[in-house]
Amino acid sequence: MSYLSQNALTIAYLVNQYPKVSHSFIRREILGLEACGLKVARFSIRSCSSELVDESDKAELERTRVVLKAGAGELLSSLFQTILTSPVHFLKGLWQTIKIGRQSDRGILRHLAYLVEACVLLKWLREDNISHIHAHFGTNSATVAMLCHLMDGPSYSFTVHGPEEFDKVAAIALPQKVAQAKFVVAVSDFGRSQIYRWCPLSQWSKIHVVHCGVDSDFLRHDSVPVPTDPRLVCVGRLCPEKGQLLLVEAAGRLAQQGLSFNLTLVGDGPLRSELESRITKLGLHNHVEITGWASSTQVREAILSARALVLPSFAEGLPVVIMEALALNRPVISTYIAGIPELVEPSVCGWLVPSGSIDALVTAMKTAIEAEPTVLQQMGSNGHKRVTQQHNVVIEVGKLKGLFESALQPALTSTGESSFSNSFPTLSQIPIRQSPDYTSPDQGASC
């Protein structure tokens, strides 16, 4: 069965877990594409419905089909149906499954499970006449999309965020996924360069940069003056790669210097107990607090109540929270890694320090705490302009729309139809649904 000959009206979005409270950027993207006239079907490998508290997330869940909720019966029947109807293509998918499973840290059995998941997805896509899959993250969701394609399913593309994809390129078969894909999206120039490293020059033309977009609630938020209170905020999952342990050590040094300040860690995660122990040992209870998971409104309020956002990450893609802080006219303290320097310009809209350098981090934090509010306000204003130019959801959706249009052009030509609007929506026309939590555990939170 050729998907290029079918009515190209709908694109499938595939994510390991969707909707998820840390995946607001995916929701923005989907809603933006729909505002452009493109139909998007949502698919998720597994559900995290128990974490959802916001009504808009629950509404999005109602529109999403979850592969692992299909049940054992449908999983097996989809597998046998694929074997019987497309035996040659199934063998092609099976061979690729074994091949990449051998080199993976998850092994062949886990990849055989991905193959079964791909069979279920293939059945659903055929039922809905879906012509293309777009997966977010180059890990298991992209694996399922690739296997589905190899078994005579539709073409696919995927977005690479990092840092996980860059940490285990061979284990997730990233070069093979790029080779089979129609196109690949990176969220920063740095991310694109990392994909270049592992792909031949002949594949480079299919790799494109599409930035994550920022909600109108941030871009259009009324400017709130920088507070005089010496408060800094860190928003992110409490995990080793975000560098919060180093941040607490830096806070300890500032306290030893007798500096008056407060540091709020908004988030939760596996590092929380160790962070709490370290805060106690350093006697920082009057300086540092951990709030736990927060709603989008609480995140916004926490950023606005601070003089600057600080995120001393060791590994990243391009954190969405940095975009949001700058959109709210707050400068950012972060590190010279990944895509961060593409957005944060030192002395213009924040400070960048070498990752892992506690001395440089202490200096930057002290500077932000002691700076005149007018100086910080100007830096925040500069940051707002940069985000508006580089991370406007309407502009970025337009880029993605063009990529989908190119990918589906053979189908559109053969049917004489087009599902794409000739005009782009304005920012106010995209129905943004807020995520209640920017800090729940997930690799995609960095973006």
pLDDT per residue as tens digits for the range 38-59: 999 999 999 987 776 667 778 8
316-335 average pLDDT score: 96
Nearest to 443 by CA among 251, 161, 253: 161
Name the residue with higher pLDDT: 178 or 413. Answer: 178
CB of 275 closer than 8 Å to CB of 344: no
Query: How far, in Å, CA of 227 to CA of 178, rounded?
Result: 47
Strands (E), 346-431: 350-353
Task: Give the C-alpha separation, 58 to 64, whole Å.
Answer: 10
Helix (H, G, I), strand (E, B) or coil at 267: strand
The one-character DSSP state at 214 is B
pTM of the model: 0.87
Encode pLDDT of 192-234 as tens digits: 999 999 999 999 999 999 999 887 777 887 889 999 999 999 9
pLDDT of 107 strictly over 90:
yes
Residue 410 has pLDDT above 80, yes or no: no
Is residue 281 within 8 A of residue 252, CB to CB? The reply is no
3-state helix, strand, coil in the chain (%, to 5): 50, 15, 35
Determine the residue type at 81.
Answer: Q
Torsion angle defined by CA atoms of residues 348, 352, 159 and 23, in that order, rounded to the nearest 10 degrees: -90
Give yes or no for residue 341 having a pLDDT over 90. Answer: yes
Q: What distance in Å separates the CA atoms of residue 99 and residue 423, rounded to the nearest whole number?
A: 44
List domains and CATH numbers for the chain. 3-213+392-416 (3.40.50.2000), 216-390 (3.40.50.2000)
SS3 of 346-368: the string is: ECCCEEEECCCCHHHHHHHHHHH
Q: What sign has the CA pseudo-torsion 233, 24, 319, 342?
A: negative
Q: Do you find a cis peptide bond into 425, omega within 30 degrees of 0?
A: no
pLDDT in tens, 63-87: 999 999 999 999 999 999 999 999 9
Strand extents, DSSP E, 336-420: 350-353
Confidence of residue 427 (pLDDT cuts 50, 70, 90): low
For the stretch 350-394, pLDDT in tens is: 999 999 999 999 999 999 999 999 999 999 999 999 999 999 888
Classify burial at 414, counting beta carbons within 10 Å of its beta carbon; exposed 0-12, middle 13-18, buried 19 or more: middle
